[in-house]
Amino acid sequence: MAAKPTPAELETATPRGMKYDARVGSILGTNTKMEKLPNGREVINSGVTMAPSKRSKIVNVCEWASAACIATCVLWFAGRRAAAKMRECARNITALWFYWPERFYARYDRELTNQERRAAAAGVESYNRPNVASDLNHDRIVAKHPRTTFYDYTAGFLRMMDYLLGRLPPNYHLTFSVKESTPFEHVLEVISRGGNVAVVVDTYYWGPTHRYGLMPAAAVFQTEDGESFRVSVIDGDRHDIRTPEFDGGGKMIGLRLKAQSNRVKELARSRGFAKYFSRGGKEFSTRFEMRQGGTIVITLPRLNPLQVLGACPSGCGGCAKA
């Protein structure tokens, strides 16, 4: 049951916001992957899971999402998120944030304070992922909780640049998400400034039997006109915490293509969201063990001239294929 709102919160409440407040059991949650921690380290980790893109039917929480990532979003079509009850929880959190942000942030703040107390009592570190299935600016919470380390993925190039230029709080870390429309120049810029980029790799994955396809050990990013560069790859499915402490910098984070249905997987492949890996088939998979080997070659589009001229405000590259 949600705690009683303060008089100040009630002043700005909307009837819809109040309805959703009662429906949200807790702002912070966890999932199977977030409970996987880097080897030998005990931490307390949590995240805020909204309904991705426009799945809430109220608001778009992924400003820089691409057509293919919306159609195949792992946070909607894979694992526990595919269950109706979990989707309803995510929709309620999104609605609370949209209709009554003061209440949302007050509850987020309180739950995080409780998490920090539990972490301090257990002598472990506190981590939080503010955008498990969204790409929003929650900087007000990050700034208020220096005792927690925050991490996120973003597809917003300018937001990523803010991070790499040190304009975001020091306890907040970002990884740049590569979509089918992300330009080569953006990836090169992020890597050369010491940031990491996340790529969905078309390699075998079947969670129920713990079968994992081979993850490449290296990646070559290239354009069709022959420019290229090479980086090493980190297996992003080993754990969820994406910080320079665990991932280093200037690397690709490989994430296996996951979905409940083959139709969704096929869509991710055919639209170019999941990047083809020649050794990604079942024959290269292993049970209970995540292995790496080989090189993946990823061809990306060139930067759209509109973006070069600064006429595109988002920098997402979504119009590059228009």
| Contacts with ligand SF4, residue ranges (CB under 6 A) | 52-53, 62, 65, 69-70, 73, 75, 133, 135, 155
**In which residue are the tokens 């991490």 written?**
151
Smallest gap, in angstroms, from Cβ of residue 44 to ligand SF4?
23
Considering beta carbons, is residue 33 or 103 the nearer one to ligand SF4? 33
Using the minimum distance from each CB to ligand SF4, give the nearer residue, 155 or 201: 155
Name the burial class of residue 73, with classes exposed (0-12), middle (13-18) and buried (19+) by CB atoms within 10 angstroms of its CB.
buried
Residue type, 114: N
Task: Report, in Å, the least distance between residue 53 CB and ligand SF4.
Answer: 4
CA distances from 230 to 191, 197, 213 (A): 10, 13, 22
- Token pair belonging to 318: 């979504």
Name the nearest CA neighbour of 31 among 258, 285, 290: 258
Q: What is the CA radius of gyration of the chain?
A: 20
Question: Nearer Cβ to ligand SF4, position 5 or 183?
Answer: 183
The residue written with tokens 């994406």 in the block is 242
Q: Are 64 and 104 in contact (CB under 8 A)?
A: no
Instruction: Report in angstroms how near the CB of residue 40 gets to ligand SF4 at its nearest.
Output: 30
Q: List alpha helices for the chain, DSSP H.
A: 7-11, 15-23, 67-72, 74-77, 84-99, 101-122, 139-144, 157-164, 184-192, 244-247, 262-270, 305-308
For CA atoms 73, 64, 318, 301, the dihedral sign is negative
Q: Which residues pair with 187 in a beta bridge?
A: none
CA–CA distance from 146 to each of 43, 112, 125, 130, 309 (Å)? 16, 11, 12, 14, 38
Comparison of 58 and 70: residue with beta carbon closer to ligand SF4: 70
Q: Which is nearer to ligand SF4, 44 or 316 (CB)?
A: 316
Query: Which residue, 141 or 257, has its beta carbon nearer to ligand SF4?
Result: 257
For ligand SF4, the closer of residues 13 and 71 by Cβ is 71
- Any idea which residue has 């929003």 for tokens? 136
Closest-CA residue to 291 (of 219, 216, 218):
216
Least distance from C-beta 211 to ligand SF4, angstroms? 23
CB of 234 to ligand SF4, least distance (A): 19
The least distance separating ligand SF4 from the CB of residue 318, rounded to whole angstroms, comes to: 11
Q: Are the CB atoms for 222 and 281 separated by under 8 Å?
A: no
Work out how close the CB of 179 gets to ligand SF4 at its nearest, in angstroms, rounded to a whole number.
Answer: 7
Instruction: Provide the minimum distance between the beta carbon of 102 and ligand SF4 in the complex, in angstroms, as a whole number.
Output: 25
Q: Judged by CB, which is closer to ligand SF4: 155, or 296?
A: 155
Select 17 or 156, whichever has its Cβ closest to ligand SF4: 156
The three-class DSSP label of residue 209 is: helix
State which H helix or E strand residue 175 sits in: strand 172-177
Smallest separation, CB 132 to ligand SF4 (Å): 8
